[in-house]
Amino acid sequence: MEQAFLHTGLESLATHPHQTVTVSAQEVMASPVRVHPDTVLLQPARSASSLPENSLAVLKTEDGTVETLELVDNKPRLDSTDRALPGLYLSCFDMLFTEDATWLVRVADSASVASGPNPEPCPEPEQCPVIDSPGLGTEPLSPGLEEQVEERSLEQVQSLVVGEVLKDIETACKLLNITPDPVEWNCGNVQKWLLWTEHLYRLPQVGKAFQDLDGKDLCAMTEEDFQQRCPQCGDTLHAHLDIWKSAAWMKERCSLGECRITEREELWSEADSSCSGQPIHLWQFLRELLLKPHSYGRCIRWLNKEKGIFKIEDSAHVARLWGLRKNRPAMNYDKLSRSIRQYYKKGIIRKPDVSQRLVYQFVHPV
DNA sequence: GATAAGGAGTACA
DNA sequence: TGTACTCCTTATC
């Protein structure tokens, strides 16, 4: 299994297999692309004695060795107490590329844990307990209930992690006086962000390689483009930018204080389909974008709201947002428009009477 | 060249 | 099974 670690401190796990490492959200951000999607396990702290409250244990496996990481504040530390707990796999990368704050969770069975290069079966329950949940006794849970408990626990962990990441980004925005959404950056903002990222993650200075770019240009660049301009750390910068883009996306989705990621119940109660836990349909997604013109007016807007006629102003951007939402990095406007056209038959979306490029109409306006 | 339209196969929940 | 993704061809702007 290709195994890579976060730049900061996590390498120690490779050489100190039974240690607990405290990792800040900043550190999680330090190298998101270097974590294999199936090598990181997240689990809430099981007891106050082992891990501080509100901390999280990030468990990973490498060659069958399971490690425990802990996410608390921004101060890394080391101790050597906790042991491995198998349970729920969650890709660090997925944390920020999932369906809003409900996240995409992959629940892996024990077979998945053992499916790596070391096919050792999962240890017995004593060594390998499932996630604890307050209020639950020692009675064995039915499979369905157990899954609910796991899901619930994981949700808390996810909220915590994403909250930390957003906090770090917010702090950076204040410090740099830039907006959270990279698309809105001008050239100066891009240079500020580059300086900040270089400084924070000890990357070589590469500002010159990007000096002619604004945020929109930057966001349109692929990882290969980054690599071309900056062979030393282009991939890392691209990954960081992806995190910012995703965070901005999530932040906007949860704006207006309606949808705080730390308050799960509020998420569920929100009428917005993005928080319903159900897979979102493209037409719903488009409607959501249209209903937030302050955030997405640049890429999609109403031409006639009463009639449900809208125009996609920036097809590539809308496609990218949809791809992020559905975890489809290869999404483009060609594919998105094909999906839109599928709605013609279903009577959800149609072309307006006077057909225009990139203009569509909801058959049943909001 | 970009977009529109639609056929067809596939993946996934 | 429904929905969406993907790839494709052809037509139009």
**Distance of A350 CA from B6 C1′ (whole Å):** 14
The residues of the protein lying within 7 Å (CB) of strand B read A 279, 315, 333-334, 337-338, 341, 344, 351, 355-359
Determine whether the distance from the CB of A245 to the nearest atom of strand C is below 7 Å.
no
- What pLDDT, on the 0 to 100 scale, is given for residue A307? 85
Closest-approach nucleotide to residue A339, Cα vs C1': C4
Taking only the tens of pLDDT, chain A with its 366 residues reads 323 222 222 222 222 333 333 333 344 444 333 333 333 333 333 333 333 333 333 333 333 333 333 333 333 333 333 333 333 223 333 333 333 332 322 233 333 333 333 333 333 332 222 223 333 333 344 444 454 445 444 445 445 555 666 777 776 776 677 888 888 888 888 888 888 787 767 778 888 888 888 888 888 887 778 888 888 888 778 877 877 877 776 666 555 443 333 333 332 233 344 444 567 888 888 888 888 887 788 888 888 888 888 888 888 888 888 887 877 878 888 889 889 988 888 888 888 888 888 888 888 876
- Give me the CA A330–C1' C5 separation in Å, rounded: 10
Strand pairing category for A20-22 and A78-79: antiparallel
Res A163: pLDDT: 64
Q: Which nucleotide is nearest to A323 (CA to C1')?
A: C5
Output the pTM of the full model: 0.36
Q: What is the distance in angstroms measured between the alpha-carbon CA of A353 and the sugar C1' of C6? A: 29
State, as a whole number of angstroms, the distance between the CA of A326 and the C1' of B10. 17
3-state helix, strand, coil in chain A (%, to 5): 45, 10, 45
Q: Are A71 and A58 in contact (CB under 8 A)?
A: yes
A288 CA → C3 C1’, Å: 19
Helix-then-strand count for chain A, H and E:
14, 9
- Do the strands A65-70 and A20-22 form a parallel or antiparallel pair, or are they unpaired? parallel
Per-residue pLDDT at A211: 82
- Does nucleic acid strand C have an atom less than 7 angstroms from the CB of A342? yes
Q: Residue A34 and residue A46: Cα distance in Å, rounded? A: 27
A293 CA to C13 C1', in Å? 28
Three-class SS state of A270: coil
C-alpha torsion A43→A45→A46→A51, nearest 10: 150
Residue A327 is predicted with a pLDDT of 77
Nearest residue, CA→C1' of B12: A279
User: Could you tell me the distance in Å between the CA of residue A53 and the C1' of nucleotide B9?
Assistant: 51
From the CA of A336 to the C1' of B7: give the distance in Å.
16
Tokens of A123: 């240890």
Q: Does the nearest atom of strand C lie within 7 Å of A354's Cβ?
A: no
Which backbone phi and psi does A311 adopt, to 5 degrees? -125, 135
Q: What is the Cα–Cα distance from A364 to A366, expressed in whole angstroms?
A: 7
Nucleotide nearest to A334 (CA to C1'): B3
- Number of residues that this document lists for chain A: 366
